[in-house]
Chains A and B, each alone.
Chain A
Amino acid sequence: MSTPAEPVTSLVFPLRLDYRLTAGRALTRYLRGIQRGVFLGSRCPACGNVYVPLRDACPADGTPIDNEVELPGTGTVVTFAVNNIPDPRAPEVPYVCAQIAMDGADVEMLALVGGVPAADVRIGMRVRAEWRPRDEWGATMDNVKWFAPDGGEHA
């Protein structure tokens, strides 16, 4: 009997697929709003919920939505996490990721919180979007550097 062959442990598999994706109608409107410094939401005519980013169908009941609501760009920290791991995308370390209940909307947005020592971030803290200089704006959430304390606490 011959000895068993050595197992084959690797395989070269030259895999590459290129995609060309677009944001779609609703997200395009939202990002065009961000490009001019405005958070756009939309209100479901059936259940009354306001969604941000703007949607053109209610994710709860499927009802088409064709309106838009301008939001003030302020909100309240609902919960947060402090990250001490360096990340090239983070404006500073440690950085704080927070769920923010946006004023005028019924859903929360995930965003960075900055302009405050991480140890001082609290649930209930009032925050406001801090925009980068206007000449750096594009159709991207990078326009918003982070949410910074707006003074005060929410109940």
Chain B
Amino acid sequence: MSLWLTAIVFIPTVGALLMLLVPSGNSKALRTTAFMIMLVDFFVSLPLYWAYDPSNASFQFVERASWIETFNIHYYLGLDGISLLLVLLTTFLGPIVVLGSSGITKSLKGYFACMLLLQTGMLGTFLALDLFLFYVFWEVMLIPMYFLIGIWGGIERIYAAVKFFIYTMVGSLLMLVGILWIYFHSGNTFDYTQIMAQATSSGGLFTPQAQLWLFAAFALAFAIKVPMFPFHTWLPDAHVQAPTAGSVILAGVLLKMGTYGFIRFAMPMFPAGVEFFQPLMLTLAVIGIIYGAMVSIVQPDMKKLVAYSSVSHLGFVMLGLFALTPQAVTGAVIQMVNHGLSTGALFLLVGVVYDRRHTRMIKDYGGIAKVMPLYAAVFMIVMLSSVGLPGLNGFIGEFMILVGTYSTSPVAAILGATGVILAAIYLLWMYRRVFFGELVHKENEGLKDLKPAEWASLIPLLIFIVWIGVYPMTFLGKMATSINHFLQNFDFIRPMAGL
């Protein structure tokens, strides 16, 4: 048994302890240490890509050890094609968010310690295969995120942080009851593979009635995290108040924990629940796509605009997951990664001008393409990727989701497609107002173009934005077997005729 996954999960924790040794006054040393730890973690995780065997549907690099014997709880980690990409996305964004934290000056040591602990929580969530362990990581990640928003956030940060915390808490505690129920009805085990083996055996583990309740309990926790309409209200607050790096993590990784929860736990464990709730989930996904986009159009604040666009983009992911066709689910998983890259990059870019001008209002800018031409170019590429321009990553995900959804529910696919058009409206309109036209504000005349640190954080993102857009098979190839395996749970669900 190798300790590869354990190393990936806990290098940031060890790093957070190391941070305590660095003198608090030396901000350069603090930044460098944090960056190096994140980079080490990334390079430790990177070889997973080649070591992972894409033809094997079972979990790989499995680690299993007894943790709490009284309750048969195990420390149980494993990786499949779906979590592989999300783990790599998380470790990839790690160094980038450290670079994106140049605007932070207040108690840097605590800031980076929180960020590193958060990294552990997120990686653990993607790798845990014991329901109890999963729950622990899921909750552990709350506290550092709460501090990131609450200490280093904007003016309304306390309200946003508390709202974020309580929303997540309510959802996840009901999931805890669901987890307990599973434990007592599966022969006292939290082991995901054992539970799945029982769930897929003839007769199944739970009655259809019980599955509905369990699905509802899990889905609530995950839907709040995604966030799905109507549980999305914490997201704009959290995003707007969080510091830039916090927003990048939030959009890039944290929201994926919700969609990951669906694809890993809620959907495969309770197929009867999926069957029952599929129409509702598709409807909410479509509402989320359109509603998020419409609200984005009218936002005067760039960061809020991007935040609401997340609601819309995550709606696509949910649409793809619940369409339950091979293309749609594949599209949904790659769209999770895409959203992490594009929206993460958008938040970084908004942060760039915010650090210079301390305003995020669209009306405070205008014509800044003249003073920041390179910034404008990068922004253009990232924005177009978010819109879904063919040749960039966003297109691949949305296209596959919509193609896949059409065979399940043409209505949902058609309505969903309007989201792409609306995205073009709100992003292009925002772009025009910020970058083109006359330089109306004098303060903007002296704006400096991108600094080296900003380039360093943006270039890796740009590479992958183009890479996925041009040759997605690098990434799709790794997850095909796992997604096929996932879909076998739902063979009994027929396409929804008439929708």
- A and B are interacting partners: no
